[in-house]
Amino acid sequence: MKPNETSWSIPHDNQDLLDLTIDEWGDDHGLSAYNTPLRSDAFELSDVEKVAKIEHHFREIMETLGLDLTDDSLKGTPLRVAKMYVKEIFGGLNPANKPKATLFENKYKYNEMLVEKDISFYSNCEHHFVPIFGKAHVAYISSGKVIGLSKLNRIVQYFAKRPQVQERLTVQIAKELESILDTPNVAVVMDAKHLCVASRGVQDDTSTTVTAYYGGKFQEADTKSEFLKYLELSK
């Protein structure tokens, strides 16, 4: 061994784990169940307790990375991240934050398709905890009830504010709309960029991922193509 060469090395098993973590694990983005995998005790801690706990652990992460937490710019970061996780970007984990759906009678007898398109959303990939962001397009055909347009937006935001995979996010939004509007005639298309693909891993900065859910009449070719024509995504 040369004098300046280190004798320290990562044990074989751990090296495997490192390689696997960086190159493969979580890059498949496979779909699990459509319910977010939450433990039954998920809400036993209050938000304040969660913020305190995450602050502590995020500080450990930053210190492990070698960052100087006495630096003015860094010292507030663990608390900022903890609040952001609990109150903002993962606030949709808590059913207490679910938007209340106010329904109205369909007094105009409007029985055509209603499309709300280009709803901006920000979510986070549950495999890497980096952003997924893009546009959601939702549509339904009324069964007699209609919903305020801003509610469609809020439902998208609620489910986006969870660690997610795009496929599950798409299905969760659709299932919620089916349940609130009491109709299977619901469609959701999401077109999003994944920073875990763009800024790391394969570093593809231009690709986007499109996922779709077509329920009830939207499975019929005419209805689906009418919807896609409104989105100008049919080509």
Instruction: Provide φ and ψ at 136, rounded to 5°.
Output: -115, 145
- Tokens at residue 2, please? 């040369």
Residue 127 in contact with Zn ion, rule: CB under 5 A: yes
Check 157, 164, 166, 172 and give the catalytic one. Answer: 166
192 neighbors 166 (Cβ within 8 angstroms):
yes
Question: Among this protein's residues, is 125 annotated catalytic?
Answer: yes
- Tokens at residue 175, please? 């299932």
CB of 132 to Zn ion, least distance (A): 8
Residue 128 in contact with Zn ion, rule: CB under 5 A: yes
Check 29, 127, 178, 226 and give the catalytic one. Answer: 127
- Give the separation between CA 153 and CA 14, rounded to whole angstroms: 44
Residue 125 in contact with Zn ion, rule: CB under 5 A: yes
- Closest residue to Zn ion, judged by C-beta, is 196
Question: Among this protein's residues, is 196 annotated catalytic?
Answer: yes
CB of 133 to Zn ion, least distance (A): 13
- Give the separation between CA 137 and CA 120, rounded to whole angstroms: 9
- Give the separation between CA 208 and CA 135, rounded to whole angstroms: 11
Check 55, 125, 137, 167 and give the catalytic one. Answer: 125
Binders of Zn ion among residues 173 to 202 (CB under 5 A) are: 196
- Give the separation between CA 206 and CA 78, rounded to whole angstroms: 32
Question: Among this protein's residues, is 29 annotated catalytic?
Answer: no
Closer of 153 and 209 to Zn ion (Cβ): 209
Cα–Cα–Cα angle for 222, 224, 227, nearest 5°?
A: 110
Closer of 156 and 196 to Zn ion (Cβ): 196
* Active-site amino acid positions: 125-128, 166, 194, 196
Residues at the contact surface with Zn ion, assessed by CB under 5 A: 125, 127-128, 196
